[in-house]
Amino acid sequence: MNLDVSDQNFNSTDKIVIEHDEIQKSRANNLPALLASKANISISTNNVQPNSIYIRGGDSSHVLILVDGVPTYDASSPQRTINLFNMNLSKIKRIEVLKGSQSVIYGGQAMSGVIKIETFSDDSKNTTSVITDAAFGKHNGTRQTLSVDTLQNLTDETAFTANAYGLNARNASSVLDSDKLYPQTSGAADIGVQLKGEFENIFKLNYSRDNNQISNADFTNSKAVDTDDFYADTESAGGVWIFRKKDLFSLTVSQQKIDRAFDQEAAKTLIGTTTDEKYQGVLSNIRLDGLIFKSESAHLVAGIQYTTESMYYTSSGAPMTDDKTQYEGVYLKSDFLLPQNFLVEYGLRQENTKGHSLANSYHIGLIWNQMIKFEYSTGFKTPSLFQLYSSYGNPDLQPEASKNFSASIEHKFNDQFYSSLTYFDTQFENLIDYSFALSKYNNLAKTRTVGIESQTNANFMDGSLRLTLALGYQEPKDTTKNQWLVRRPLRSASLKASFDLTSDLNIGTEAIHTGEKLDKSGSKFLTVEDYTLVNIFGNYRISELVTAFARIENVENKNYQTTYGFFNQGSIYKLGAQFSF
């Protein structure tokens, strides 16, 4: 049973864990690329939605991102998303992907999964790491990054952390065979103080800014089209305070403000009108979790959560939307250890808005011998402020609802071999989508996604050779219209090998397959072809202080689409060095 009140999960939930060593050695170009190497996690990209994540039939609006336990998304975006491409991988210590509804613990954004990102380290050593790299690709696209990450233990109970990250790039066009490049500059910094002891305090501030030019989309066919001086800028600032005693309670207070701006002169737009749109989203969250009861065979945890979201939107300087909402959630989670190695879990959540009942969810789990797991859970998602109150909004939207069932068998045979197999069935009701007939968002669909997933980890040669094979098959259907859901591939697979040739030299390769999927242009359905990518990477420790690394992404130099009409073109070659002090 998990007695860490600050990190509550259901034991019956399927999860994928990516440890710091794998994150670092993979030298992935960005977080979505790292996540896409795991089966049945599909990533689609375009200019409107920088990273759409699909897990078990759900889309980005059903996947909650937690950074150090704090909900992280743009409250002004249509699907409450955040651009993971700009997140600094070097500061991430651990990633945990929870599959299936987690609404009982985390609320309405967690209908099909949660991605938990940890940036704090329990390392007692003082460390400073400087990473610099340069990448280049087809049509002379280039990318340079520099990051500095430091952990300083000022005393036995006081630690200071700081991270700074910069990026300068000339990104290749999403238009097939175009040699146009789009400039991008990004910067981010965060600082934190950790006061350890029986009661722990964590304070953290973060800031980031991304300025880039992007291509556009031809709305007659949904394909990318090159443009001039179309600027998309994002600025984010936030802070968090965590006060906790891990086996007793955890209090989290956070706020994040994100400003987005899209600008283009009329003479350079596709339709001859000026683009001047600005969005501001503010997300505030207070959460208290506490251990109510604990014995050798049972424990009970309760929590309360208060969240506010606000959105301010202007077009050509004129205010269009200025709205705010709030949610209050209360949950209970209990575990009971029964004879014959059975563990029963139960959870219940009530969600209100301004004191009025909005939705509820529950979770039931049964685990035998930490090997066979059954789980049934429900979930909900409230409409975003954009879906409710923008010019395309509908204030009469109802919350989406989900039902999730999974059955798993997993076994760790020894330290060298682990395998798991999961069947899942996910159903959504009142799914919110844009209605072209009504010219606004509406509750349109019922969907059902059934599938199987498997993962096998094997270590050989005393752990020097590590293999991971992940396979996924799903049938995501819109049962209202009896057709496949868009941007969700039926098949996915990945094979990853990492080999420590010596104590100083590591090499590895990844093969990632994404099956054929549907996409949509207006009311027309289109096919996105399947593709398989092969990546290779290597790390060589020159000395205790210096490690050189290299990565080739898309070794076979393929052109492929994750979203219809938006191409990723050719190989990307990266060289870099890490300096550790």
The pLDDT tens digits of the residues spanning 170-196 come to 999 999 999 999 999 999 999 999 998
How far is it, in rounded angstroms, from Cα 436 to Cα 441? 9
What's the pLDDT band for 434 if we cut at 50, 70, 90? Answer: confident
Looking at the DSSP bridge assignments, the partners of residue 195 are 158, 201
Q: What is the reported pLDDT for 50?
A: 62
pLDDT surpasses 80 at 5: no
What's the pLDDT band for 435 if we cut at 50, 70, 90? Answer: confident
Query: Minimal CA–CA distance to 574: which of 273, 133, 126, 194?
Result: 133
Residue-wise pLDDT for 236-272, tens only, equals: 999 999 999 988 999 999 999 999 999 998 777 767 7
Out of 123-127, 418-422, 445-449, least confident range? 123-127
Q: What is the DSSP letter of 60?
A: G
With a CB cutoff of 8 Å and minimum separation 6, the contacts of 523 are 436
How far is it, in rounded angstroms, from Cα 146 to Cα 502? 27
Q: Which domains does the chain have, with CATH numbers?
A: 14-170+300-570 (2.40.170.20)
pLDDT surpasses 60 at 2: no
pLDDT surpasses 90 at 33: no
How far is it, in rounded angstroms, from Cα 454 to Cα 345? 23
Q: What is the reported pLDDT for 4?
A: 60
Residue-wise pLDDT for 280-292, tens only, equals: 999 999 999 999 9
Q: What is the DSSP letter of 529?
A: P
Q: What is the reported pLDDT for 183?
A: 96
Out of 137-141, 296-300, 402-406, 531-535, least confident range? 137-141
Per the CB < 8 A criterion, the answer to whether 327 and 351 are in contact is: yes
Residue 152 sits at φ, ψ, to 5 deg, of -125, 115
Calculate the average pLDDT of the chain. Answer: 92
Mean pLDDT across the stretch 550-563?
94
What's the pLDDT band for 120 if we cut at 50, 70, 90? Answer: confident
pLDDT surpasses 90 at 447: yes
pLDDT surpasses 70 at 71: yes
Residue 21's Cβ-count burial label (10 Å; 0-12, 13-18, 19+) is exposed
C-alpha dihedral, 168 to 170 to 171 to 175, nearest 10°: 160
Tokens of 207: 């800031």
pLDDT surpasses 90 at 84: no
Q: How many CA atoms lie within 13 A of 438 on its CB side?
A: 12
Q: What is the reported pLDDT for 6?
A: 60
Residue type, 471: L
pLDDT surpasses 60 at 47: no
What's the pLDDT band for 408 if we cut at 50, 70, 90? Answer: very high
Residue 77 sits at φ, ψ, to 5 deg, of -85, 155
Q: What is the reported pLDDT for 51?
A: 74
Residue-wise pLDDT for 91-116, tens only, equals: 899 999 999 999 999 998 899 999 99
pLDDT surpasses 70 at 335: yes
Out of 208-222, 353-367, 550-564, least confident range? 208-222
What's the pLDDT band for 46 if we cut at 50, 70, 90? Answer: low
